[in-house]
Homo-oligomer: A and B are copies of this chain.
Amino acid sequence: MPSASASRKSQEKPREIMDAAEDYAKERYGISSMIQSQEKPDRVLALVKDLTVQKADEVVWVRARVHTSRAKGKQCFLVLRQQQFNVQALVAVGDHASRQMVKFAANINKESIVDVEGVVRKANQKIGSCTQQDVELHVQKIYVISLAEPRLPLQLDDAVRPEVEGEETSTSQAIFRLQSGICYLFRETLINKSFVEIQTPKIISAASEGGANVFTVSYFKNNAYLAQSPQLYKQMCICADFEKVFCIGPVFRAEDSNTHRHLTEFVGLDIEMAFNYHYHEVLEEIADTLVQIFKGLQERFQTEIQTVNKQFPCEPFKFLEPTLRLEYCEALAMLREAGVEMGDEEDLSTPNEKLLGRLVKEKYDTDFYILDKYPLAVRPFYTMPDPRNPKQSNSYDMFMRGEEILSGAQRIHDPQLLTERALHHGIDLEKIKAYIDSFRFGAPPHAGGGIGLERVTMLFLGLHNVRQTSMFPRDPKRLTP
> Which residues does A use to contact B, with CB under 8 Å?
1, 8-10, 34-41, 43, 45, 63, 65, 81-83, 109, 111-113, 145-149, 152-153, 155-157, 160-161, 169, 172-173, 176-177, 179-180, 183-184, 187, 191, 196-205, 215-220, 222, 224, 226, 232-233, 236-237, 239-243, 248-250, 252, 254, 256, 264-265, 267, 276-280, 384-388, 394, 410, 413-414, 416-417, 434, 437-438, 440-445, 453, 470-472, 474, 476, 479-481
Contacts and interface: CB of A to CB of B under 8 A. Distances in A.
A111 B196 contact: no
B176 A196 contact: yes
Tally of this chain's copies: 2
Contacts of A479: 203-205, 219, 222, 224
Name, among A197, A239, A384, the residue most crowded by chain B CB atoms within 10 Å (CB to CB): A197
A276 B63 contact: yes
B161 A239 contact: yes
Name, among A199, A202, A437, the residue most crowded by chain B CB atoms within 10 Å (CB to CB): A199
A31 to B, nearest CB: 12
A30 to B, nearest CB: 16
B161 A474 contact: no
Name, among A9, A169, A479, the residue most crowded by chain B CB atoms within 10 Å (CB to CB): A479
A173 to B, nearest CB: 7
13 contacts: A38-B387, A39-B277, A63-B276, A145-B444, A145-B445, A146-B445, A155-B434, A173-B242, A176-B242, A180-B198, A220-B254, A248-B248, A250-B250
Nearest to A66: B442
A237 B160 contact: yes
A264 to B, nearest CB: 7
Is chain A's interface secondary structure helix, strand, loop, or mixed overall? loop
B204 A83 contact: no
Contacts of A160: 236-237, 240
Given A173-B242, A184-B187, A199 B440 contact: no
A416 B10 contact: yes
A146 B388 contact: no
Contacts of A386: 36-37
Contacts of A434: 155, 480-481
Contacts of A9: 416
